[in-house]
Each structure stands twice: as C-alpha cells, then as structure tokens.
Amino acid sequence: SLADIGEMFNAYADCVIMRHTETTAPEQILQNLRIPLINAGNGSGEHPTQALADWFALLKWNPLLASPPKPGSKRMNLGILGTPGSMRAVKSFLLMSLLFQDHIGKVTVISEMADPFGEDVIERLTAANIDYEVSNDVREHLPELDVIYMNSIAFLGDSYKNMDSRFKLNSDSPIKKSAVILHPLARLDELDTSLDKSPHNLYFSQAHGAVFIRQALLMAVLGRFKALPNLADLNTISPTSSSS
C-alpha cells in the first residue's frame, strides 16, 4: 500500500516527489510519511509545481503582479482552455490565481462542460471577488484576453479526449496584441507551431523557468538555502582560488 511505501521512505529518503494516477495518492502516503512530500501530479486532482512554474513565468512577464495594484490600473483577464475539475494543471493554475486576485478582472473558462470548475472552485472564486464566466468557443473571447492558459488533453470518464477546433489557436487567431499564451507542454494540434516565434509565446519561457522554480522548491523543502553562496561572495572569488 502507499501507506507502507511512505513508512519505507522514512528510512530511505529526505524527501519524496510523487506523481500518481490516483487523486487520493498524497493522502494515502501521508498516513505514515514523516518526511516532506512534493506533489508532482495526482491523477486529475492537482499539479502544484506546474502552477508555480506558470506564475513564475507570468511574474517575469509582468513583475508588477508581485505588488499591490496601483489605483486605476487595469486588471488582466484570464482565459483558461479546459476543465479545472478534471485537468490538474488547469485547476492548479486557477487556484494559484487567487493569490493574485487584486490583479485579475475576469476569468473565462472555455470548456465543453456546462459546469467545468469542479468541487469548491466556484466558491473560492466568489470569495475572492473574481468574476468568472463559461464559454464553449475561445474565438469569441480572444480580443479581450490578456493571458491564455491552455492544455492538450481533458480527462473525461475513463479516457483522455483531444480538444476540437473551438479550443485551438494559430497565428490567424484574433489574439489580443499584448496577450501571452501559457501551455504546460507537450502539445497536440491545439497550439499551432506558427505561434512559436510570435510575441504571444510565453510557453517556452514557462518551460525553461520550471527547472529553476523546482530547484528552488526542493532546496526550500530540504532547508538548503543557507548552503548557497551570496552573490557578493561569488564576485570576490578569483579563478585561481576557485580552482584550488
């Protein structure tokens, strides 16, 4: 059982990074686990480290997101292609957006489902005073979206289903000039490669930054930040001393 595996890991490891097909896997292993656990994806539940990478990319794109908004500043509109209730990366991205609620004007979820949010998500959006709407065609909303978050597959029942044309983007799509696109990758044909060299492409930066945000998370969990040299110390290290 996962509970027994957790007990074994207590003796063998300093930290557990787990990806599992079952949504309840983290709860199961935590019955006995006494060392840190990083959730790398639990079924259709959540993908927290992906959300960290997503918002790290957005913070680099717009550093003002890290500060309270100035009076009269325009809030950004988020477009989410998928079903937060059954797509773990989409759900985690949406839940982490609550940390930036003062910067968000509206969330538009593009989904085939009439109620794509899943358990308790609507309640949390309402509590954060974030307006939201559901649509089944991204093309109707592209001119007003500042950030577009998309994924390639949706878990429906016992199988994965590809998105249809209402959820696809290419260089001819009426995307707002200043908008950026996020995608956890890998992709299918929902995100055309014609957008790769466009200014809308934030998904490559998102992928590259994911390495560093996960490194930082692991160091934080293991309490290893003090082992890092200060930048001032690095500047004083000469080539001779560093090779000795």
All domains of the chain in start order, with CATH: 2-45+213-226 (3.40.50.1370), 49-206 (3.40.50.1370)
The Cα–Cα gap between 88 and 86 comes to 6
CB atoms within 10 A of CB 219: 14
Using the Cα atoms of residue 115, residue 121, residue 124 and residue 125 in order, give the sign of their dihedral: negative
pLDDT of residue 244: 40
The Cα–Cα gap between 7 and 165 comes to 47
Answer whether the bond into residue 227 is a cis peptide, omega within 30°.
Answer: no
Q: Is 162 helix (H, G, I), strand (E, B) or coil?
A: strand
Structure tokens at 179: 């908008």
- Residue 29: closest CA among 60, 63, 1: 1
| pLDDT tens track for 186-195 | 888 889 999 9
If 0-12 CB within 10 Å is exposed, 13-18 middle and 19+ buried, where does residue 150 land?
Answer: buried
CA atoms within 13 A on the CB side of 152: 9
Sequential pLDDT tens for the chain (244 residues): 999 999 999 999 999 999 999 999 999 999 999 999 999 999 888 999 999 999 999 999 999 999 999 888 899 999 998 878 778 898 899 999 999 999 999 999 988 877 787 767 888 888 888 999 999 888 899 999 999 999 875 555 555 556 667 778 999 999 999 999 999 998 888 899 999 999 999 999 999 999 999 999 999 999 888 887 775 565 555 555 444 4
